[in-house]
């Protein structure tokens, strides 16, 4: 049963828009209202931290019985993992033409965009002086630090890559929506940017999809590996220092992101009545990918713990014992159980050549329980146990302020997602893929050369900006480990990456100019 539409005389939104776009039923409104209350609670919680200081949180000084990184950093890693999984699904679908994933590519990319926003807010919540962080990090980020890659590639480049993809991929559907509404036709016409659904346009769309997906996947693997290096290259921090840190981060990110996309896709399928669009075949593929990724991570987890328990130094062994048989053991074994159980269930489902959407959703929820707890176990125990110096063993328990802030941040992400599903179709429309054009396209050689020239100029400008900004940030030819030669060079690096990504939009958006009624395609 569809949701009722809120109307107001002649000012109402046309009912012809697909997938409930522009129609706000009572369930949607009630959910948004609840999320707004949670956001308000999060703001109130964080306000206590700003008013009274970190003393109202569970964070304390390392070596003095506490941990300076806690729930905020744990959830920063979690949200970035969600973004990784969403983009991986989107890029793999276009790189390898996985048609069963096409219905959820836009959904997965939206999950990625929202997750990056939440990750950035988590970083701001963790900083004692967030305004100073917002000013100094863009001005003085140093390439020798993994935080440079975390700031420029994750918060900057991956967010923009996902946003560019979302805009270009939605042009065809925007053109369809523009014909079904009068009130917001201008909005959809702007988004469509002259889309005519010609064969030449669709060919350019496929080319841009392929190359943008390849660039996005490469950027994301590098960026998330860099996030692993933040922990893995700290030789003075037992439990973090590990050659497996980067691959462990990447694999668990793919697992948790896939699990979240499964849950969101199932919710969209049920509440938005998309059973014909998001079929069982989609969940079958996601379920198989999930159990394979989970088994790979279990292998890495076993290698990590066995090495730390039997072949590491005393400090590393102390951290491993605290995790597997000490203060953090209950959390660790819950992680193991919530990874083994879904992997086993999905593998049995694979052997029986069947697919239960309910079982797949449960598996997606369980792996994310494991991911949240494991991120906590990565961040905290190395700060409270296994000190190289003669410091006492510490403890860390998040306070209600931290829980409230994280709940508020999560509610912000959910709120953005729910608003977006009312602005454009969450699943690509079938009719936007049907050509109404002539069998051949009219094209102008001059327009074709102009497109290639502007594309090349945009791409080369972006790459040159990246190289120059990176060199300025790294102080090549001068003293290392100092401030960038040009303050703001890290932002200039992000600008270069964004310009490079926009070259795909330049290539796709320049329209064809007719020359003759019938001519060769572009």
Write down the domain spans for the chain: 27-442, 448-507
SS3 335: helix
As a whole number of angstroms, the distance between CA 62 and CA 74 comes to: 16
Close Cβ partners of 376 (under 8 Å, ≥ 6 residues apart)? 71, 74, 331
Taking the C-alpha atoms of 220, 224, 227 and 232 in order, what is their torsion angle to the nearest 10 degrees?
-140
Indicate the class that CATH gives domain 27-442. Answer: mainly alpha
As a whole number of angstroms, the distance between CA 173 and CA 432 comes to: 6
CA distances from 522 to 142, 169, 441 (A): 44, 20, 8
Burial class (CB in 10 A: 0-12, 13-18, 19+), 434: exposed
* pTM for the model: 0.87
One digit per residue, pLDDT tens: the chain, 522 residues? 343 333 333 334 444 678 888 888 888 999 999 999 999 999 999 999 999 988 898 888 877 777 888 899 999 999 988 998 998 999 999 888 888 898 999 999 999 999 989 998 998 888 877 887 777 777 777 776 666 776 677 767 777 888 888 888 888 888 888 888 887 888 888 888 888 888 888 888 888 888 888 888 887 788 778 777 778 777 777 878 777 888 888 899 999 999 999 999 999 999 888 888 898 999 999 999 999 999 999 999 988 888 877 766 777 788 888 888 888 999 999 999 999 999 999 999 999 988 899 999 999 999 999 999 999 998 888 888 877 777 778 888 899 999 999 999 999 999 999 999 988 888 888 655 544 444 444 455 667 788 888 889 999 999 999 888 888 877 766 666 667 777 888 888 888 888 988 888 888 887 766 555 544 444
Closest CA to 427 of 289, 210, 282, 212: 282
- CA angle (159 as vertex; 40, 37 as ends), nearest 5: 10
Two structure tokens written together for 282: 């989609």
Contact 382, 240 (CB under 8 A): yes
Two structure tokens written together for 101: 């994933």
As a whole number of angstroms, the distance between CA 24 and CA 29 comes to: 6
Contact 500, 459 (CB under 8 A): yes
Contact 29, 402 (CB under 8 A): no
| DSSP track, 448-487 | HHHHHHHHHHHHHHHHHHHHHHHHHHHTTTS-SSS--SST
Contact 60, 68 (CB under 8 A): yes
- Rounded to a whole number of angstroms, the CA Rg of the chain reads 25
């Amino acid at each position: 049963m569809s949701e009722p539409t809120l109307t107001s005389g002649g000012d109402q939104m046309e009912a012809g828009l697909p997938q409930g776009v522009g129609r706000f039923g009572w369930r949607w409104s009630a959910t948004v209202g609840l999320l707004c209350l949670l956001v308000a609670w999060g703001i109130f919680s964080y306000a206590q931290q700003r008013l009274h200081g970190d003393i109202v949180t569970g964070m304390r000084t390392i070596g003095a019985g506490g941990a300076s990184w806690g729930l905020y950093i744990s959830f920063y890693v979690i949200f970035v993992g969600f973004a990784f999984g969403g983009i991986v699904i989107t890029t793999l679908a276009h790189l390898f033409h996985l048609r069963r994933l096409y219905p959820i590519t836009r959904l997965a990319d939206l999950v990625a965009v929202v997750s990056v926003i939440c990750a950035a807010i988590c970083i701001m919540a963790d900083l004692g002086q967030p305004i100073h962080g917002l000013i100094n990090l863009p001005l003085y980020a140093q390439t020798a630090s993994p935080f440079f890659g975390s700031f420029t590639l994750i918060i900057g480049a991956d967010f923009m890559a996902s946003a560019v993809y979302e805009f270009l991929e939605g042009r065809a559907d925007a053109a369809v929506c523009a014909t079904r509404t009068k009130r917001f036709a201008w909005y959809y016409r702007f988004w469509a940017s002259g889309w005519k659904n010609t064969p030449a346009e669709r060919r350019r769309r496929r080319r841009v999809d392929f190359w943008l997906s390849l660039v996005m996947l490469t950027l994301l693997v590098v960026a998330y590996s860099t996030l692993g290096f933040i922990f893995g290259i700290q030789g003075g921090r037992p439990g973090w220092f590990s050659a497996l840190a980067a691959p462990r981060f990447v694999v668990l990110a793919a697992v948790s992101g896939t699990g979240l996309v499964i849950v969101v896709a199932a919710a969209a399928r049920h509440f938005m009545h998309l059973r014909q669009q998001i079929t069982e075949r989609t969940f079958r593929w996601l379920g198989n990918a999930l159990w394979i990724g989970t088994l790979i991570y279990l292998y890495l987890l076993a290698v990590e713990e066995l090495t730390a328990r039997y072949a590491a130094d005393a400090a590393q062994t102390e951290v491993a014992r605290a995790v597997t048989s000490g203060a953090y053991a209950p959390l660790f074994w819950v992680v193991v159980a919530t990874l083994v159980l879904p992997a086993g269930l999905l593998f049995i489902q694979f052997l029986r050549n069947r697919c239960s959407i309910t079982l797949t959703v449960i598996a997606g929820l369980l792996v994310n329980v494991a991911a949240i707890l494991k991120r906590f176990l990565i961040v905290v125990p190395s700060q409270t146990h296994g000190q190289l110096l003669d410091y006492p063993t510490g403890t860390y328990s998040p306070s209600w302020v931290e829980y409230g802030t994280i709940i508020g941040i999560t509610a912000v992400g959910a709120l953005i997602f729910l608003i977006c599903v009312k602005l454009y179709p969450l699943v690509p429309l079938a009719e936007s893929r049907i050509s109404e054009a002539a069998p051949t396209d009219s094209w102008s050689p001059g327009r074709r050369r102009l497109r290639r020239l502007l594309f090349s100029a945009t791409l080369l400008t972006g790459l040159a900006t990246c190289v120059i900004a990176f060199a300025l940030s790294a102080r090549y030819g001068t003293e290392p480990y100092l401030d960038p030669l040009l303050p703001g060079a890290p932002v200039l690096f992000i600008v270069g990456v964004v310009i490079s990504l926009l070259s795909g939009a330049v290539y796709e958006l320049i329209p064809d100019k007719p020359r003759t009624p019938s001519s060769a395609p572009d």
